[in-house]
Amino acid sequence: MTHEERKDKQMEPENIKEILKVVSTEIPTMIKSILTSVFSEEAGRNMGKAAAAYYKELKDGGLPDQVAVKLTEEYMRTFTSIGDMLKSAGRGGWGRGHGEDDEIGREIEKRIHNKLRKGADDEEEDE
């Protein structure tokens, strides 16, 4: 089997459908695992230690207290933003059950379904 034949076989609708099925089950599991580790008691302690170390480095570097505090707050906001994004994804916020996101998710599913169907129809015409 040539490289081109293997590539064509990989792009068959059944293969794409199987890939999407695996991704749709594995990604939520990964996100839940990340959420558990990010929002644990130990993770909270580690984030506090990281923020304190960051602040100390800024102060030791000669930055005024007001600037060091502001930069440390922004540093901690990064953790919060990432956490919010992960929580949203863990609840299905990327296309499942959240108003506009739900509509977008349905549209994406519809387009994928149509592409898969079109690919199968094209394949039948070639035979």
Is there a single domain that holds both residue 44 and residue 87?
yes
Indicate whether 4 belongs to any domain.
no
The percentage of the chain sitting over the pLDDT mark of 90, rounded to a whole number, equals: 20
Q: Give tens-digit pLDDT for 45-81.
A: 888 899 999 999 999 999 999 999 999 999 888 877 7
Is there a single domain that holds both residue 48 and residue 105?
no
CB of 95 closer than 8 Å to CB of 102: yes
Count up the domains in the chain and report the number: 2
Separation in Å, CA 81 to CA 38, 51, 69, 74, 77: 12, 15, 18, 10, 6
The alpha-helical segments, DSSP class H, found in 13-126 are 13-38, 41-60, 65-90, 100-126
Is there a single domain that holds both residue 82 and residue 102?
no
What does pTM read for this prediction?
A: 0.44
Dig out the tokens for 31 from the structure: 């996100």
CB of 24 closer than 8 Å to CB of 16: no
Closest CA to 119 of 24, 23, 3, 20: 20
Indicate whether 103 belongs to any domain.
yes
> Which pLDDT score, from 0 to 100, does residue 95 have?
44
- The rounded distance, in Å, linking the Cα atoms of 70 and 79 is 15
Place of tokens 């930069």: 71
Is there a single domain that holds both residue 86 and residue 40?
yes
Is there a single domain that holds both residue 85 and residue 101?
no
CB of 49 closer than 8 Å to CB of 79: no
Structural domain containing residue 73: 25-91
Is there a single domain that holds both residue 70 and residue 117?
no
Which residues of the chain are modeled with pLDDT < 50? 94-98
